[in-house]
Structure 1
């Protein structure tokens, strides 16, 4: 059914958001008193620049009256706002208590509630969301003939195979429902989407119920005046996914798991778990009941060999088989276990270790994500460089753990090249240093998405948290130069032939081709391409 002023007012009133309708001198709760109340809106937008004849404009955020100058000449049909703008437009206004919540509800209705045509899976957590989302999409594509869409912090995919760079981890609600409609129209049956804490903080997923929600893990992150003032607020926002889900998958060993399960019980949401074990299940049939108590979970992954080059996955007592991922690191096998648990919760990966299950596991094996655990080897010196998006305490710790697991026997000399974001997540500056400083040999601080803050000030702030007197900490403001100098320094060290392997970790930007400065994207070669060029390898 088309969205009209009358149906919009009814919907907003049902959700206790409507304050009144203002049309000129008329103030009313009855949309029927407004001329044209049953005329369908031709479009919906939150950008005044895209307003055209018949548009419904959602005035979200720090909206100013002057944004509406000349808007009537472009045919604005109505606006939704938490303030009265009748002094600058003749269009009727739906005045609401919360414009963001209203926009989400109205967008879903305008685009015909596409979420009802899809099995929608939401994935949250401090780390691993993107990788788990890609693994889950691979499994669901394998089991549905390529009919799974994806919203991620890296790419969006609306047809199961074409990927376009994304702007936000979780899109604005209006964009999300528009993209859902396109995905459903493309024949997609499933949608996998990352759900950030900000998505709940600013109501990007308001009114959306997930068929399956996955809560991977939690640790402090995004703590700043413009994001979350405290860890409690960060966790509380993420917890909202549980109340808005039909079923829950969670990391068995995650912090605050008991609280998450209390949320699930309060809202009547069934829950299943996944875990990483360092050994095979104790029982021959891989039963979860036979796992050591610390690892007892519904879906379990464990090493298939001493080198951790392959892992086996069991779910609900059935050994589903072996998987050998293109992405390195035990933590990525844990993400794979999460993806299997999600697929099972969605009802598409069944109990039997059959051909379909084996094909689903194999679908995860070739998955690569630009900027995630990309490993390069210098043919001149043997130096290993890893480009990764690690950007907080948990992900930096996991990355260095991987280096020590993989290269510990070669006494690696580790150099970390990193910066930190500006204007947000101030806690990361200290936590990145704390996670690394006693475990690496050299720290190179450099440019990241500093936005309006000074690059040098951020780097100096990070260096002030260095307490290890043996750590060589340097500041090289230009990011390209920082990587180039680090490669040259590693080559010089390799010539010393002291038997130590040089490992360079370049983190925080991945494959992004820009750096954010003064609210604009400034072109940047990309960490992966700088490393590949320095190593004389073929770029991508």
Structure 2
């Protein structure tokens, strides 16, 4: 059903969001008082530059009244806002208590409620969301003949095979429903999407119910004045996925798993658990379990409800990725789909640019790994992998890192603390420093280094920092050098002053310097 001023007002009233409709000096709750109230909107947008004849505009975020100057001449049909702008436009304004919630509801309606034609999987957690999403999409594609879409922090895919770089972990609600509509148009049956804590904090997934919600793990992150004021708030936002799913897949070893189970029980959600088992240390019961079968060849065994599903190995390094694989199989198992050997082999083929991506120069005994690790927990997991894989050879480890500007300030010390007693050298460099000074962030991080045995230095240019580490490794061909470039993955930009500026990419630099 087409979205009109009248139907939009009715929907907003149903959700107790509509204050009134204002046009000039007329204030009312009845959209039918305005001519054209049953005329379908031709487009929806939150960008005034995209307004054309018949467009419904959402005035969200740091919206300025002057953005509306001259907009009537371009055909604005109506706007949705928490503030009325009758002195700037003759178009009727749907004045609401929360424009983001309104945008999510109305966007879904405008695009024909495409979520109802898809089986939607939402994945949250501090780490592992992207890898789990890619594994899940690969398995669902193998089962369905390529009918699984993907929204991730790396790429979006609406046709099962074409991947386009994404801007946000979870898209703005309007963009998400637009892409869902495109996925339906391409014949997709499944959608796998990452769900960030911010997605719930700012209502990007408001009104969306996941067929399967996934809670992988939780550890302190994204705590800053512009993100979450506390860990409690961060966890609370993550936990909203419990309220907004039909079945929950939960990491059995997640911190606060008991609290999450209580939440699920209160909301009468079925819970399916997964775990990575280590025969020497770990026996937490779980419905789906991955455990080492042949460590020498990195083969793991997967079991679901006590049934052996077979052996598999991954193309992505890191034992922790086998936990992500167990999560993916738990999702598929929860959906009641066949987790046969074909499903396992689909995961074996998955690689993700910038996620545990390895480069080697055998002639100089140099190994380099590019990864998105960006906090203390992920750096610890990365160094655990290096220790397990290369520890017996006593490698010289260089960590190239920075930290994001304007947010998550605690990450800076976390990264240093996680690494300084386990590596040989820090190179602090630019990340997405945005409006902060790159040099100031690097100096702050260097100030946290207290271990006299570890070297540290600052090279502001990120490409030069990687080149310096590679050159140093090549000058010591008798030792094993491990270079870890973290935080940026394969991103081809660095965020400076709220803009993405071109950058060669960590992976591209290493491919160039290591040949």
Is the contact between residue 364 and residue 476 of structure 2 (CA under 8 Å) also seen in structure 1?
Answer: no
C-alpha distance in structure 1 between counterparts of 2:423 and 2:39, whole Å: 65
> What does 1:53-202 align with in structure 2 at a 5 Å threshold?
53-202=53-202
| 1:394 aligned residue | 377
How far did 1:64 drift?
A: 1.4
Asked if residue 378 in structure 1 is aligned to residue 357 in structure 2, the reply is: no
Unaligned runs of 5+ in 2: none
1:19-418 equivalence runs, <5 A: 19-279=19-279, 294-307=283-296, 309-349=298-338, 357-418=340-401
Q: Which deviations, in whole Å up to 9, do the C-alpha atoms of 1:444-475 show, x marking residues without a partner? A: 10011111110100001111111212111111
Contact 2:19–2:95 (8 Å) recurs in 1: yes
Corresponding residue number in structure 1 for 2:411: 428
Alpha-carbon distance in 2 for matches of 1:230, 1:337: 30
* Counterparts in 2 of 1:513 and 1:223: CA distance versus 1, 3 Å: same
Give the Å deviation of 1:24.
1.6
Displacement of 1:145 in angstroms is 0.5
Task: Name the SS for the 1:322 alignment partner.
Answer: strand
Q: For each residue in 1:474-511, what CA deviation from the matched residue of structure 2 results, as whole angstroms up to 9, or x when unmatched?
A: 111111111111111112233xx3xx421111111111
**Distance across 2 between alignment mates of 1:385 and 1:40:** 55
Deviations along 1:378-436, whole A, 9 cap, x unmatched? 13201111111111111111000000111111112211011111111111111111111
Partner Cα distance (1:266, 1:442) in 2: 49
Quote the offset at 1:27 in angstroms. 0.6
* Closer/same/farther in 2, CA of residues 238 and 74 from structure 1, 3 Å limit: same
Q: 1:525 corresponds to which residue?
A: 504
Question: Deviation digits for residues 329-363 of structure 1, max 9, x if unmatched?
Answer: 1101110000000111122236xxxxxx1100000
Q: Deviations over 1:134-167 (max 9, x none)?
A: 0000000000000000000000000000000001
Aligned partners of 2:299 and 2:482: how far apart in 1? Answer: 23
One of 417, 420, 425 as aligned partner of 1:442: 425
* Aligned 8 A contact 1:380 1:535 in 2: no
**1:14 aligns to 2:14 (yes or no):** yes
Displacement after TM superposition at 1:181 (Å): 0.2
1:514 maps to 2:493: yes
- Mean Cα displacement is larger for which, 377-386 or 75-84? 377-386
Shift of 1:306: 2.9
User: 1:279-328 deviations in whole A, cap 9, x for unaligned?
Assistant: 29xxxxxxxxxxx9842100000111132611110011111001111001
- Please tell me whether the aligned partners of residues 4 and 41 of structure 1 are also in contact (alpha carbons under 8 angstroms): yes
Distance 1:15 1:521 in 2: 37
Equivalenced residue count is 515
Deviation at 1:520, TM superposition (A): 1.5
Q: Which is worse superposed, 6-15 or 379-388?
A: 379-388
Residues 308 and 330, structure 1, Cα contact 8 Å, conserved in 2: no
SS in 1 for 2:501: strand
CA contact (8 A) 2:137 2:148 kept: yes
The residue that corresponds to 1:288 in the other structure is: none
Q: Distance in 1 between matches of 2:447 and 2:338?
A: 50
Matching of residue 451 in structure 1 with residue 434 in structure 2: yes
C-alpha separation between the residues in 2 aligned to 1:363 and 1:384?
Answer: 27
Query: d(CA) in 1 for partners of 2:334 and 2:512?
Result: 44
Change (3 A) 1:471 1:293: closer
CA distance in 1, matches of 2:302, 2:396: 33
Shift of residue 194, structure 1, vs aligned partner: 0.3
Partner of residue 354, structure 1: none
Kindly indicate whether the alpha-carbon contact (under 8 Å) linking 2:403 and 2:441 is maintained by their aligned counterparts in 1: yes
Q: Secondary structure at the match of 1:425?
A: coil
Equivalence for 1:470: 453
2:276–2:290: 8 Å Cα contact kept in structure 1? yes
Structure 1 consecutive aligned stretches of length 4 or more whose deviation exceeds 3 Å = none
Assess, with a 3 A threshold, how the Cα gap between structure 1 residues 293 and 482 changes in structure 2: closer, same or farther.
Answer: closer
What RMSD, in angstroms, separates the aligned Cα atoms of the two structures? 1.1
Structure 2 distance, partners of 1:328, 1:206, is 35
- Who is 1:287 aligned against? none
For residue 433 of structure 1, give the secondary structure of its aligned residue in structure 2: helix
Gaps of 5+ in 1: 281-291, 351-356
Contact 2:124 2:195 in 1 (8 A): yes
